[in-house]
Amino acid sequence: QFPAAAIPPLGWPENHLYTNEILYDRIPEDFQLPGHLHEPAIYIKVIEDPGHILVGQRGVFAARKILSGEVFSEYTGYLIQRRVQDRSAYLYKYFERGSLELDIDAQDAGNESRYLNDYRDVAEAHNVEFLVVPINGRLHIMLQAIQDIP
């Protein structure tokens, strides 16, 4: 499947296709990204270590070596307007300006990233940071390794 054509900005040359996505129709259909780029970076499992503070809960673990600087996932869920009564354990502050406060809530929808646990009481420092990346007028919350994760 190829992306639908996007509406070009004023002044865009008529003889050039305008797109907001990478087009893959000029490479072989069996094209594979090199090495680790097509392998899942993380997986979910129940924490079984009785000495772990979150024993019995789900956590995210590296499925392969994740290199420092690698962006390996996106935090997803419902975009909601923040309310005082929100009690979800899966809120991430998405945007705040004046009285407008928006969060991503992964309580009822999301991906593996919702099971990313806080490092406190488990490790000496965090190994992941959240990056806010604007793409086509929307903010994306990306996870980036700040050190190699074996």
What is the longest distance spanned by two Cα atoms in the chain?
A: 64
**Residue-wise burial string across 64-77, b where 16 or more C-beta atoms lie within 10 A, e elsewhere:** eebeeebebbbbbb
pTM over 0.85: no
| pLDDT, tens only, 117-144 | 777 777 788 899 999 888 878 888 999 9
In this structure, the chain runs to a length of 150
Q: How many CB atoms lie within 10 A of CB 140?
A: 16
In 10 A of CB 48, how many CB atoms?
8
Separation of alpha carbons 96 and 115, rounded Å = 24
For residue range 53-64, list pLDDT tens digits in order. 889 999 999 999
